[in-house]
């Protein structure tokens, strides 16, 4: 379940990088920037969730009941 | 055995993809490296929980006072999280941020150790005439 997330992020990264190169070559700098920003934000949303999960787990494991 | 093969396989595949992505699109490369680190750590959580369970059981059987083992476990947890944060920041080339995170870890570890230090001081004062 966690492994599929990193493959998803890798796929988004590669697609965004390729489209960024295309749009830059076609002379549409603004759209390339917007695409890049959107990709970063989407991945950031996923990242925040797994970071929160990690911190919860660490807090649960390293504790004395 | 199964898990370590999985971890090493993920690390190899992601190293290849990251070397591609860092050149083409740096912010997403950094995000992917963070995601890989966190996913592998989440994979490690189940074995780590078993280990910690063993240690707490050991401490309970030896009749140790709970507060000391609690401090040790808390310190290990803080060190673990701090190491993750430092590594991620250093990976992205932000060594200043990494230094700040390291300092914060040291401060919070010291803060967690304050009750033990107080107990040592109290027993020393008891020993003195």
ipTM of predicted assembly, 2 dp: 0.84
Instruction: Determine the average pLDDT of the residues in B113-122.
Output: 88
What's the pLDDT at B99? Answer: 94
CA-based nearest distance B42→chain A, Å: 6
What's the pLDDT at A1? Answer: 54
Q: Write out pLDDT tens, residues A20-64.
A: 888 989 888 889 889 989 999 999 999 999 999 988 888 888 876
Query: What value does the mean pLDDT of chain A take?
Result: 87
What's the pLDDT at B58? Answer: 85
Instruction: Determine the average pLDDT of the residues in B53-63.
Output: 84
Q: Write out pLDDT tens, residues B84-106.
A: 899 889 988 889 999 999 999 99
CA-based nearest distance B127→chain A, Å: 29
What's the pLDDT at A6? Answer: 87
Q: Is the pLDDT of residue B38 over 70?
A: yes
CA-based nearest distance A19→chain B, Å: 11
Mutate to test the interface with B, among A59, A62, A63, A65 (most CBs of B within 10 A): A62
Residue B80: CB atoms within 10 A of its CB come to 18
Cα dihedral A29→A20→B31→B96 (10° resolution): -40
Distance CA A9, CA A15 (A): 10
Distance CA B72, CA B109 (A): 10
Contacts of B42 in chain A (CB under 8 A): 2, 50, 53-54, 57
What's the pLDDT at A64? Answer: 65
What's the pLDDT at B100? Answer: 94
What's the pLDDT at B63? Answer: 79
Distance CA B109, CA B103 (A): 10
A52–chain B Cβ distance below 8 A for any pair:
no
What's the pLDDT at A3? Answer: 82
Q: How confident is the model at residue A65 (pLDDT cuts 50, 70, 90)?
A: low
Beta carbons of A46 and A8 less than 8 angstroms apart: yes
């Amino acid at each position: 379940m966690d492994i599929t997330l990193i493959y998803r992020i890798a796929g988004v990264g590669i697609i965004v990088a390729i489209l960024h190169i295309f749009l830059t070559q076609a002379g549409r700098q603004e759209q390339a920037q917007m695409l890049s920003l959107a990709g970063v934000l989407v991945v950031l949303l996923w990242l925040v969730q797994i970071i929160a999960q990690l911190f919860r787990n660490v807090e649960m494991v390293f504790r004395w009941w | 055995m199964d898990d370590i093969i999985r971890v090493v396989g993920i690390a190899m595949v992601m190293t290849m993809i990251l070397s591609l992505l860092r050149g083409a699109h740096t912010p997403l490369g950094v995000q992917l490296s963070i995601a890989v680190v966190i996913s592998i750590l989440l994979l490690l959580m189940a074995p780590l929980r078993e280990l910690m369970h063993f240690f707490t059981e050991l401490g309970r059987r030896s009749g140790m006072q709970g507060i000391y083992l609690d401090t040790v476990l808390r310190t290990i947890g803080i060190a673990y999280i701090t190491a993750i944060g430092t590594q991620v920041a250093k990976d992205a080339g932000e060594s200043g941020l990494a230094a700040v995170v390291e300092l914060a870890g040291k401060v919070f570890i010291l803060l967690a150790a304050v009750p033990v230090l107080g107990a040592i001081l109290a027993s020393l004062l008891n020993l003195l005439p």
